[in-house]
Amino acid sequence: MKNKNLYELKEVISRVNNKGNNKFKLALLLNEKMIEERIATIDKLREQSDEFKVFEQKRNELITAHAELDENGQIIVYTQAEGRGEKSSNGYGYPNIVKEKKKYEKQLIAMQEEYKEVIEAEIKKEADFVETLNQSVDPEIEFSSIPFDSVPEIEYEEMKVLMPFIEK
Confidence (pLDDT) at 53: 97
Distance, CA of 10 to CA of 165 (rounded, Å): 12
Distance, CA of 33 to CA of 38 (rounded, Å): 9
Going by pLDDT thresholds of 50, 70 and 90, the confidence category of residue 39 is very high
Instruction: Give the mean pLDDT of 139-149.
Output: 93
What percentage of the chain reaches a pLDDT higher than 70? 100
Distance, CA of 94 to CA of 92 (rounded, Å): 7
Confidence (pLDDT) at 91: 81
Residue type, 157: E
Instruction: Give the mean pLDDT of 61-66.
Output: 94
